[in-house]
Amino acid sequence: MRRHSNSLSGIERLAVILESEEEMKAAVVALILDSKTEEALDILSRWYRISRPRLTIGVVEGRTKGVAAVYSTRRREILAANREYFYNPFVMIHEFYHHLRSRSGRHRGTEKDADKFAMEFIAAHRRLAASSPYSAETPTTARGPS
């Protein structure tokens, strides 16, 4: 039985609207930039059909110097060094990649791959933002000189 759109949560409605992986990636970045990181992680988790990692402020012993955030496989948790990193799309998506690639307590994947994964999301956001009729460009700059 199909649910009426009025009974869907905001995240479920967004998932119905998103028609492509490109749109999903752009939406995730936009949510993180809008301080809705947990909603972004919900979308990522549903898209990849895995559980959502917990999100906390903290550090993992022995991994604190110069680190914005880490993923704890044992705790299934993204730990950010401070609150500002919760709203950094690169950091959050990079750490989500580690969550995605962790299986049965073992991590598979590299930092380089996590960086590339995060950059793909940011690039999708930039592409869709540039093509949006609501982009930051003024009509005169969009058309060129009159």
What is the mean pLDDT for each group of 10 consecutive residues in the chain (146 residues)? Answer: 45 58 93 95 94 88 74 90 93 95 73 95 92 53 38
CA–CA distance from 57 to each of 10, 76, 111 (Å)? 26, 14, 21
Global pTM? 0.76
Burial of 133 (0-12, 13-18, 19+ CB in 10 A): exposed
